[in-house]
Amino acid sequence: MIPPFMFATGIENSYPTLQGGTVRVDEMEKCGHYRHWHTDFDCVEDLGLHVLRYGPPLHRAWLGPNRFDWEFADVTFGDLLARDITPIVDLCHFGVPDWIGNFQNPDFPALFARYARAFAERFRWVQLYTPVNEMFICATFSASYGWWNEQLRSDQAFVTALKHLVKANVLAMKAILEVRPDAIFVQSESTEYFHADSPDAIKPAEIRNAMRFLSLDLNYGRRVDSEMYEYLMDSGMTREEYHFFLGNNVKQHCIMGNDYYVTNEHRVFADGHTVASGEIFGYDELT
């Protein structure tokens, strides 16, 4: 039984790659979770909490098309069930297995939906999911800032990563619903805002403030404004791809979640470049 109010903690399972895909940053490995997962779950109970945002490491569980290794997930999720801890299952968190490559791969969405369905079939008692975590941030860091995964820096790469991430999320939700019709999807997205540094910077700030909503607009089948539509088309999205998002949303099954860090607010200059602004509006105002 899911309580009417949930106070949750989480164990992060991010695993992006660096240095052209040759180095993987596995947060569960870094924090020792693979060795001390039982103690970590004890700590959840010691805090008096009964909800945990948690997921198996995708790069270890998803070995190839329709090939899965559930050994670690069977043990850990079996223990969560025995403890009566409700998981919000985080299926894709900032990275993919080496055999996928990165988020520029157009095969990723359909393949990931099969993984999501396979997980749902194996753990039918699970109801709460975040299929793809922070789609905007993942696309930005991977294909706009050039920090992770494909390490690209262009509008074309950003839009390609974003459309694949959101399509993967939508297809995964639909696949899970075929197995668990009462599934609930708790989205997680970054709460961004771009402040104009001067009157000449108002326009580039407005564009950035429209771009920050693209992942949620596409995910929820919400029509974007004309400027964002032109941006998407100019950056490689097709009309057919855009209409896929308009016609395939399952927002009635979703809870929009957002998070805030001090780095989420930015100053935008007239030439379009940005720097961190620190907290100006804060989480409550932006939410």
Helices (H) and strands (E) in the chain, counts: 12, 15
Sheet strands side by side (includes 193-196): 193-196, 265-268, 274-276
Amino acid at 157: A
Task: Spell out the per-residue pLDDT of the chain, length 287, in tens.
Answer: 677 889 999 999 999 999 999 999 999 999 999 999 999 999 999 999 999 999 999 999 999 999 999 999 999 999 999 999 999 999 999 999 999 999 999 999 999 999 999 999 999 999 999 999 999 999 999 999 999 999 999 999 999 999 999 999 999 999 999 999 999 999 999 999 999 999 999 999 999 999 999 999 999 999 999 999 999 999 999 999 999 999 998 999 999 999 999 899 999 999 999 999 999 999 999 99
Whole-number CA gyration radius for the chain: 19
164: left (phi over 0), alpha (psi -120 to 50) or beta: alpha
DSSP 233-275: HHTT--HHHHHHHHH---GGGEE--EE--GGGEEEE-TTS-EE
Q: Strand 51-54 to strand 23-24: parallel, antiparallel, or no bridges (unpaired)?
A: unpaired
Q: Domains for the chain: give ranges and CATH numbers.
A: 8-286 (3.20.20.80)
